[in-house]
Amino acid sequence: MTTPYDGQPAHRFWKASSRGADATAAGFDAGRKFAFAKADLFAPAGSCFAQHFARELAARGGRVLATESRHPLEPADAALGYGVFPARFGNIYTARHLRELLEQAFGERDPVRDFVLREDGRWVDQLRPRAVPAGFASRAHAIADRDHHLTAVRRMVESMGVLVFTLGLTETWENAPGGYAYPIVPGAVAGAFDPAIHRFANARVADVVADLERVVALVAARNAGARVLLTVSPVGLAATAEARSVMVSTAASKGILRAAADELVRSHAHVDYFPSFEIITGAWARGRFWAEDLREVSAEGVDAVMAAFMASRLPELAGSSPSPAAPSASPGTDPSDAFAAALDAACDERFLDRS
């Protein structure tokens, strides 16, 4: 007697998959809909893990789009936040935040002008409080830069070949009167928390699906040939606003995001999923891809993800070696420690844990 499982490839069976020597051999990405060519133009966005994906993709020869770059008159060594993502939007942790950014960029909603004065006299855009570390000299300067930024986001969508969006969180804080979401609760990095204005929200699967559907529709309306590749960040929550363990909130959040991504993949031929989350967190890895804090991903883990991505999605560049990695370790410093420190510095969430 036979069953539908007989004769299936090894990657469909746990025993065979768990014996894989590496993520590529384990066949994590065996169900892919499409691969890419080295000529494809990528627009990475999302959580702090997306920063490292963007950097490593470029280091291995991938084409990463840049639509917002430093003006020649701006000092090259200033903390201006260019070059992290295609446009200077910083970390986008939630599908809600991405949806609202694209709606502003394409005139589907009014630009959000939520600026606060920092203690050093510089103005901060609350929707990207750490994306522009130097801040702005005046509120007028901040407004002008946000308008320029939205133009850069619009150009990104119109010219990209692939949007790679890394889903990071379901928990978010909203401006209740204004009806928009923040990347991080006001008061953690800049501004002040006001319970009369700022409201906590934790998205459910249906909420994330609705936001992603809106993102996909906005992209398709402006760039019919663009493909969307979703991933889920393996990085856990630094803190939770729910009255429960941060470990439980992390599991709930990642489960919700993974389920939502699956819904989008099943509904759209041009939307696919890459299993960064599974490669890092799967039992087969035996925990070896975590940094010392057990939350961030180690350099070895990022290398495993990128090796699997290049082999499966960018075979033309699969044999390429990355250019000198950043951050570089100082003499006498363990490179993995330097990498973990840079990961931590890249994440706005670290400001939620005052310890």
Rounded Cα–Cα distance for residues 52 and 347 (Å) = 11
Predicted confidence at residue 19, as pLDDT, reads: 79
Contact (Cβ atoms closer than 8 angstroms) between residue 122 and residue 190? no
Predicted confidence at residue 327, as pLDDT, reads: 37
pLDDT band for position 61 (50/70/90)? very high
pLDDT digits (tens, 9 = 90+) for 319-344: 777 765 443 333 333 444 444 444 45
Pairing status of strand 115-117 against strand 63-64: unpaired
pLDDT band for position 235 (50/70/90)? very high
**Given a cut of 60, is residue 119 above it in pLDDT?**
yes
pLDDT digits (tens, 9 = 90+) for 282-331: 888 889 999 999 999 999 999 999 999 999 999 999 877 776 544 333 33
Rounded Cα–Cα distance for residues 173 and 182 (Å) = 6
Count of residues in the chain: 355
pLDDT digits (tens, 9 = 90+) for 68-85: 987 765 676 666 788 889
Rounded Cα–Cα distance for residues 55 and 349 (Å) = 20
Predicted confidence at residue 350, as pLDDT, reads: 64
pLDDT band for position 352 (50/70/90)? confident
**Given a cut of 50, is residue 236 above it in pLDDT?**
yes
Per DSSP (E only), the strands in the chain are 41-46, 63-64, 115-117, 123-125, 162-167, 171-175, 180-182, 198-202, 227-232, 271-273
Tally of CB atoms within 10 A around 55: 22
pLDDT digits (tens, 9 = 90+) for 203-231: 999 999 999 999 999 999 999 999 999 99
Predicted confidence at residue 35, as pLDDT, reads: 96
